[in-house]
Amino acid sequence: MIKAILIFNNHGKPRLSKFYEHYTEDTEQQIIRETFHLVSKRDENVCNFLEGGLLIGGSDNKLIYRHYATLYFVFCVDSSESELGILDLIQVFVETLDKCFENVCELDLIFHMDKVHNILAEMVMGGMVLETNMSEIITQAEAQSKMEKSEICAFLSLCRPLSFSVPDRTGRRRPGLLELQHAPYRPSRT
């Protein structure tokens, strides 16, 4: 079972946290900090698995993570999950985000938290994997945003293209997560 899915940036700012077991809000924040502390001190090119922090259950749980450009994607899982399988799942998740946001970057996650949650909900439910087929997930996500569009358009009476990607404040596009998968650490203030 997946106990928690956490996304935070290189500074430890949480960008998404989803817990599939109940913790108090305080503990959740502590878990995020602890996990960031554990994961961020690791070099690049070491293995992607480590034992979970104490708060989330210690060595019975594993943290499986990938580092994409400015973001860490961390899945905390128990021993019933395949480590490599979860790595694939993270990749599917990021590729899906990339397709939905057209070259996804950290800003997209900040401004569209609800959409990220929705996409995740198409993949993982109650800590178990619901769907791994990327095109199926994207179809669902697009159907939802279409529905949203129609409702919003009715409300604001204006229509824009389907994509919900965000340009940078400078007007230029920021390089996406996948483009920078193995890029060196780069500070980004948020």
Least distance from C-beta 139 to another protein, angstroms? Answer: 10
Least distance from C-beta 1 to another protein, angstroms? Answer: 8
User: At 113, is the secondary structure helix, strand, or coil?
Assistant: helix
For another protein, the binding residue among 27, 55, 102, 136 (CB under 8 A) is 136
Task: Rule CB under 8 A: say whether 179 interacts with another protein.
Answer: no
- Residues 146 and 154: beta-carbon distance below 8 Å: no
Residues with Cβ within 8 Å of residue 156, at least 6 apart in sequence: none
Task: Rule CB under 8 A: say whether 147 interacts with another protein.
Answer: yes
* Three-state secondary structure of 21-81: CCCCHHHHHHHHHHHHHHHHCCCCCCCCEEECCCCCCHHHCEEEEEEECCEEEEEEECCCC
Scan residues 71-100 and list those touching another protein (CB under 8 A).
80, 82-85, 87-89, 91-92
Q: Report the residue number, 17 or 40, with the smaller CB distance to another protein.
A: 17
Quick note: the x/- pattern for another protein over 9-28, rule CB under 8 A, is -----xxxxx-x-x--x---
- Residues 59 and 29: beta-carbon distance below 8 Å: no
Least distance from C-beta 84 to another protein, angstroms? Answer: 4
